[in-house]
A = this chain, B = another copy of it.
Amino acid sequence: MQSLISNARSDQDRKARKIVLEILESSLKASNPKDLVKKQVQLKGNFLNFASFTLNLDDYDRIYVIGNGKTSGAMAEAINEILQKRITNGFVNIPRGMSRGLKTGCIKLNEAGHPIPDKAGIKGVRCILELLEDVKESDLIISLISGGGSALLPLPAGNITLTEMQSVTNNLLKCGAKIDEINIVRKHVSDIQGGRLALKVFPAPLISLIISDVVGNHLPSIASGLTVPDPSTYSDAVEILKRYCIWEKSSQSVRLHLNNGLEGKVPESPKLSDQYFKNVYNILLGSNRGVLKTASVKAWQLRLIPMVLSAFIEGEARHVGTVIASIARETVLSDGFLHKPTVVLAGGETTVTVIGHGKGGRNQELALSASLRIDGLEGIVIASIGTDGVDGPTDAAGALVDGSTLKRARERGMNPFDYLNDNDSYNFFMNLNDLIMTGPTGTNIGDLIILVSI
């Protein structure tokens, strides 16, 4: 990360880059999922306290821990530290390579494919279902759910194969469909998502601890709402596939299952009025809002006044980048509406409609696009990162730009428009040494956009 400072071409840029990196670092640190659980779930004697209610553990015979998602391994470690030997058994699906160093006691961590679901994921689902097979009203189930959970807990419905399920998701991702839309489809080609996990836990009481990576934290959308009543229907799923012109491309068994759903031949996902949700408690432990709060606090500590635009930022990454750059340009004018020094923060998750053949991620593309509008301006730095440290199919968390970015690109004979048109932001920033590389952070609460103007 040292290059991110030394790449600066002026003292002002260097100072702005330092501020951005300090805010980034403290934001990522405070949004560690283990700390999020331990701050909000506490055991006092036999009483397990959550933010808003308390359980007496003496009321339960056995405690099972299940879960799935990018940060669920760290959550399992936290729950294990809290409940220790009180846990009867546990099984959690996490992405490949993410179990290293985690101590989860009797909660087994199973590594599976993400973002593309795989056989290990299916094996994990089976283990979880086995574990739930004989649960009773007197048992307590704690589920640890986080972003990425949709892919990590695959159980295709009907005759749909895993490959067919994957290709539906892939096609939607490529068309720039929103994550909510992708999840509505996922929930209707799955036998576990869209509240169906709650159905399998019934009649045992279920506490679902959730860390959200979904813009707006709509519970039915996080990890495809495993334990949440599903407001969407087969008809919504079909409409989305048609809207993105993917219906015709989808496999026969996908279309058959959805058509069966439309005709009422297979059961609709469970709804709020169903008995399954009588004893289900969904608790949101962490979200993008939290990371923005930490970032604001850090800005104040650095004696800068933060302006947080929104935790709901969505839209095509390159155009969001343009708007952020528009705001940056406003700070430069002596008679402008925004005044230096300032920190502008925004969170959410943008999308990229892939048209080129390059390598990149939404945060890198946002930054590249922003660089086009701040060319030559001094003391302005814009960074965008995925809090999970993995931006698109790359090993970078995001990227950072300033007013000298284009100059440095031109010096290397690079045309930024070519890279943008080819969705090749990764190679653009790789050549400039301006990728933000954090490695997988263990956190996954959306994206963070930081604009510093000094």
A-to-B contact residues, CB < 8 Å: 216, 243, 289, 292, 296, 307-316, 319-320, 322-323, 325-327, 329-330, 335-338, 346, 348, 373, 417
A280 to B335, CA, bound (A): 25
Which one of B323, B337, B348 lies within 8 Å of A311 (CB-CB)? B337
Tell me, rounded to whole Å, the shortest Cβ–Cβ distance linking A340 to chain B.
14
Closest to A332 in B: B312
Say yes or no: A315 contacts B323, CB within 8 Å. yes
Instruction: Check B323–A292 contact: CB distance below 8 A.
Output: no
Q: Are B322 and A310 in contact (CB under 8 A)?
A: no
Nearest chain B residue, comparing its CB with the CB of A421: B243
List 30 interface pairs A-B (beta carbons < 8 Å), by A numbering. A289-B335, A292-B337, A308-B330, A308-B337, A309-B326, A309-B327, A309-B330, A309-B338, A310-B323, A310-B329, A310-B330, A310-B338, A311-B330, A312-B326, A312-B327, A312-B330, A313-B323, A313-B326, A314-B373, A315-B322, A315-B323, A315-B326, A316-B316, A316-B319, A319-B320, A319-B323, A320-B322, A320-B323, A326-B346, A326-B348
Question: By the criterion CB–CB under 8 Å, are B326 and A310 in contact?
Answer: yes
Q: Give complex CA distance A323, B330 in Å.
A: 17
Q: Are the C-beta atoms of B216 and A338 separated by less than 8 Å?
A: no
Contact yes or no, A319 B315, CB < 8 A: yes
Find chain B residues with CB under 8 A from A325 CB. Answer: 312
- Is A314 in contact with B338, judged by CB distance below 8 angstroms? no
Cα–Cα distance between A309 and B331 once the two chains are bound (Å): 9
Contact: A308 with B338, CB < 8 Å?
yes
Residues of B within 8 A of A348 (CB): 326
Known: A308-B337, A310-B337; 16 extra A-B contacts, CB below 8 A, are A243-B417, A289-B335, A292-B337, A307-B307, A309-B309, A310-B329, A310-B338, A311-B337, A312-B327, A312-B329, A314-B326, A314-B373, A315-B322, A316-B319, A319-B323, A320-B323
Point out the residues of chain B lying under 8 angstroms from A243, CB to CB. 417
Q: Which residues of B contact A307 (CB under 8 A)?
A: 307
Separation of A348 and B348 alpha carbons in the complex (Å): 24
Is the pair A327, B314 in contact by a Cβ cutoff of 8 Å?
no
- Max count, chain B CB within 10 A of own CB: residue among A243, A292, A329: A329
Tell which of B314, B329, B330 touches A322, judged by Cβ atoms closer than 8 Å: B314
Distance, CA A437 to CA B192, complexed state (A): 51
Query: Taking the nearest CB of chain B, how far is it from the CB of A210, in angstroms?
Result: 17
Complexed CA–CA distance, A292 and B338 (Å): 12
- Tell me whether A310 and B292 are in contact in the complex, defined as CB-CB below 8 angstroms, given that A243-B417, A319-B319, A319-B320 are known contacts: no
Chain B nearest CB, measured from A22 CB (Å): 20
The smallest C-beta distance from A185 to any residue of chain B, in angstroms, reads 16
**Could you say which residues of chain B place their CB within 8 Å of the CB of A311?**
330, 336-337
A286 to chain B, nearest CB (A): 14
Most B Cβ at <10 Å: residue of A243, A315, A323, A373 = A323
Name which residue of chain B comes closest to A243, CB basis.
B417
Q: How far is B308's CA from A330's CA once the two chains are assembled, in angstroms?
A: 9
- Across the A-B interface, give the 4 residue pairs with the lowest CB-CB distance, nearest first: A319-B319, A308-B337, A315-B322, A310-B330
Residues of B within 8 A of A327 (CB): 309-310, 312
Least CB distance from A333 to B in Å reads: 8
Chain B residues in 8 Å Cβ range of A314? 322, 326, 373
